Amino acid sequence: MLVIISPVHASGNIPSNIYVVKSGDTLPDIAHIYDTSIEDLQAMNGLQSDELSVGQKLRVPIMYEVSPGDTLQDIAAIYHSSLETIKTINAFSSDQLFPGQILQIIPPKINMQGQDILMTKEEFRDWLFHQKFSRKISLIQQHHTWLPSYKHFKGSNHFQMIEGMRNHHIKQMGWKNIAQNITTFPDGKVAVSRPFNIAPEGSIGPEANTIGLAIEHVGNFDIGNDVMTEKHKETIIYITALLCIKFGLTPSIDSITYHHWWHYKTKERVLDDAASYEVKSCPGTAFFGGNSTKSAKNNFYPLVERKMEEIIASMDENQSEQSNTSK
């Protein structure tokens, strides 16, 4: 079925290539409406299964009718594409448009292998805010992998490292899947593997896992080992801020937790009141200045709070710009 969207400068709501899932919708039905495949819809939206939730937002391919005054730059901005992508899809040799011209606009595909989704931090932001989750999430866990560490990262082996961790967790630890929901890498990339609707597994225990979301940061961040890259630091702060915004959390010891604060055997939260042999050093004795609650309060939480403010301000500014563009 051909779906043609009204011009950017039409009055009313901002035109969009975002489809909001309604009750009774199925992925095959949506694929049919927008003349695409289930596989392409999954790749465009980073979907780990065919299951949909009411209110979930999906990027879909559209046919767009050019209106007087439209530019490729405006259209690319509105539809979260790029000038080069639109020109390539439509075999354009120039930026010139004509009223009444029909453009094909196809969302870019996200880098996926199986259930693993690899994204930039900006792609993760868009992915996160388009999702609807059925599980209550109110605790963000910070971990470091310890092993593998920075020396195992070769710049392009993200999926191989994830698969290695998954194999270890399943075969050696006896867990059902890779333990963590999110993995971050030295180059600033972010991977989502374990679906957010499934609680993490691991030694931090059921109290933290039931309402938790586990993030594993590739590296050994104990003092004297890996020195975190600036890109990695930025991504860790950025995605933690995004998760706080998404789930309505204020950074504190009750919303952002370190593995170090949980007893290795009892699985209870002990914060700083434990002997070194009773807890792991994770996420590292050098993780943003240390792994104590004092360090988190003085160093990590303020960075997350400032980033939250920046992101919210940016989102408000973008919405204002899009509203002005549509007038």
Q: Tell me the per-residue pLDDT of 96-128, one tens digit each, with 9 for 90 and over.
A: 999 999 999 999 899 999 999 999 999 999 999
Q: What percent of the chain has pLDDT over 70?
A: 92
pLDDT of residue 322: 55
CA distance 191 to 218: 11
| Mean pLDDT of the region 164-176 | 96
From 8-17, 135-144, 238-247, the region with the lowest mean pLDDT: 8-17
Closest CA to 126 of 63, 44, 53: 44
Q: What percent of the chain has pLDDT over 90?
A: 87
CA distance 309 to 307: 5
Q: What is the pTM of this model?
A: 0.90
pLDDT of residue 57: 95
Q: What is the mean pLDDT of the chain?
A: 92
| 228 pLDDT more than 50 | yes
Which of helix, strand or coil describes residue 189?
coil
pLDDT of residue 317: 73
Q: Tell me the per-residue pLDDT of 259-301, one tens digit each, with 9 for 90 and over.
A: 999 999 999 999 999 999 999 999 999 999 999 999 999 999 9
